[in-house]
Amino acid sequence: MTRMFTDCEHLKTIYVSDEWSNASLQYSGRMFAGCNSLVGGQGTTYDEGHVDGVYAHIDGGPSNPGYLTKRPAFTRGDVNDDLDITIVDVSYLIDYLLSSNVSGINMSGADCDLDGDVSVSDVSVLIDYLLNGNWPEPVYTVVGTANLFESEWDLNDERNNMTKGADGIYRINKAGWFPEGTEIYFKIVTNHSYAYSWPAESRLIYIYETGAFSIDIIFDPNAPDNQKINIDMNKIF
């Protein structure tokens, strides 16, 4: 792989799968020489002191820098899985809807409205995205046990839709009186579907002491999975 990417000065990203390894790389002199625009998946930038195959691995950030980027399992809207979102994806999506032939289709990427299903509504969402560069605002709903949420695990109960704040964080407040030992379970779902929902199982709110409580459920869709949900609970009396 000597000089494999030498002077590819416009090359920004090199995608590889999890399977990639540089362990058996023998000849890699100047592999990345002159790749001034290259950036690894964790932000490692080109360094002329590291142009051979030592950096030919998935970027691990400052502690384990590399020039490569792990290929995502899917990219929203990239129906044909070529890492680009274009009008070609619309035609792949329509072909799939007409033929039900999944070959060449990344079904997760094709679910443009994130409702867990590939249907004609994904076509209009994808066309909108291509025209204006934005995906529609998702609807986040808390679904759970009726002791707090009034309905039992109902994906479509509008009363449990969360409200987005100016800070981009979604919130909902619920209140009720509960005897000690009450168990309240919930999940937060996207666009009335479990396809994108947190946490993976469900979250428990356990009432340790009989009383009336005000419970704020706070959701940050951009936080890492284990930090998306916060609960702020106050005993009123």
Residue pair 38/47 in contact by the 8 Å Cβ criterion = no
Residue pair 126/134 in contact by the 8 Å Cβ criterion = no
* Residues of this chain, 105-134, that bind Ca ion according to CB under 5 A: 111, 113, 115, 117, 122
Stretch that binds Ca ion, among 39-47, 82-90, 157-165, 191-199 (CB under 5 A): 82-90
Q: Provide the mask over 34-73, with x wherever binding to Ca ion is found by CB under 5 A and - wherever it is not.
A: ----------------------------------------
Among 69, 89, 187, 190, binds Ca ion (CB under 5 A): 89
Phi-psi region of 12 (alpha: psi -120 to 50; beta: other; left: phi over 0): alpha
Give me the least distance between CB of 74 and Ca ion, in Å please: 11
CB proximity list for 203: less than 8 A, separation 6 or greater: 185, 186, 187, 229, 231
Q: Does position 78 bind Ca ion by CB under 5 A? A: yes
Give me the least distance between CB of 115 and Ca ion, in Å please: 4
Give me the least distance between CB of 116 and Ca ion, in Å please: 7
Give the dihedral of Cα atoms 47, 53, 56, 61; nearest 10 deg. -40
Give me the least distance between CB of 114 and Ca ion, in Å please: 7
Distance CA 41, CA 59 (A): 5
Residue pair 40/54 in contact by the 8 Å Cβ criterion = no
Q: Which residues bind Ca ion (CB under 5 A)?
A: 78, 80, 82, 84, 89, 111, 113, 115, 117, 122
